[in-house]
Copies of this chain bind each other. A is one copy, B any other.
Amino acid sequence: MSTRYLTLTTSCPDRAGIIAAVSGFIAQHGGFIVEASYHTEQEAQRFFMRQEIRADSLPFDAGEFRYRFVTLAQEFDMTWQLSDSAIKKRLVILVSKQDHCLDDLLHRWRSGELLVDIPCVISNHEDLRGFVEWHGIPFHYVAMPHNNEPDKAAAFAEIARLFDEVRGDVMVLARFMQIVPPDLCTRYAGRIINIHHSFLPSFSGAKPYHQAYHRGVKLIGATSHYISDELDAGPIIEQDTVRIDHGDTVEDMVRYGKDIEKAVLARGLRYHVEDRVLLCGNKTVVFR
């Protein structure tokens, strides 16, 4: 896994010649493309592209690439970004008391599957300090008072301060069970990923498994999504479902649900970390 890649993601108004222009630019500098994905969003008439290039095939580094690409990007009115696989994204995980998603992410991290740095974990409970610190990761406790809006705002301000202090790139709400205030949703738009324990848009809000139980559905689901200022309504990254039947209680659903929550969050986060997720309004293009 020591090969180094530059990953270019762009979106722009659709027209003929975009692929030719961008791949021409890359080829002109000898760039070797190892993975390329394209998509046209019909309604928005917008074109999306992701290209992974072997860094050692280029005569310059990421900075120079960016500098030279600007002209082309302006010509096509592109929103674009270039990532260097040698520079890992910095992930901050927020948890409450439930640890199944945390355990899953930390295992993927320590086994080298999830290629990020984790500068800290933040929680409104002390329960998981020991497990986090065993990994050598700093653990920050931030009190989150019930029913006290000013104190809650202060707590979230502290979370934002910690995130900025460690220069976080992406924040994951790994069953954090707290509603993030609108100002932070806006400030970190496209950078905070939540896992919701239902197949959205069904059963948004509190206690989705109880809602599912009372409706008598035959499958339950989980959804990883970027948060927005509307609760459980942000852009969906990944979803999955699992079969249940009449014999399953709410407790059974919680147990099955944990497994798909972990899977759906881990997949969604991996897509984000690998620059596979591009935003298109309130929808996502995911180049798997």
Chain A interface, number of residues (Cβ within 8 angstroms): 66
With A27-B16, A216-B235 in contact, is A288–B249 under 8 Å at CB? no
A34: nearest residue on chain B (CB-CB)?
B40
Copies of this chain in the oligomer: 4
Residues of chain B lying within 8 A (CB to CB) of residue A237:
218
A218 touches B236 (CB 8 A): yes
With A23-B20, A216-B283, A236-B218 in contact, is A38–B42 under 8 Å at CB? Answer: no
Residue A147, interface by CB 8 Å: no
Beta-carbon contact of B216 and A246 below 8 Å: no
Bits for A219-231, please: 1 = Cβ < 8 Å to B, else 0: 1010000000000
Q: A24-B24, A134-B134, A202-B199 are in contact. Are A33 and B57 (CB under 8 A)?
A: no
Tell me the bound Cα distance from A246 to B44 in angstroms.
Answer: 13
Q: How distant is A192 from chain B, measured CB to nearest CB, in Å?
A: 17
- A201-240 with Cβ < 8 A to chain B: 201-203, 215-219, 221, 235-240
Cβ proximity bits A18-31 to B, threshold 8 Å, 1 near / 0 not:
01110110111011
Residues of B within 8 A of A239 (CB): 217-219
Stretch from A72-80, A86-94, A99-107, A153-161 contacting the other chain:
A99-107
Residues 25-54 of A, flagged 1 when their CB comes within 8 A of B and 0 if not, give 011101111111111111000000000000
A282: Cβ under 8 A from any B Cβ? yes
Known pairs A199-B199, A216-B283; list 19 more (Cβ under 8 Å). Answer: A16-B57, A17-B27, A19-B19, A21-B27, A23-B23, A35-B38, A99-B107, A100-B107, A113-B255, A199-B217, A201-B217, A215-B236, A217-B236, A217-B239, A219-B240, A219-B241, A241-B241, A245-B286, A245-B288
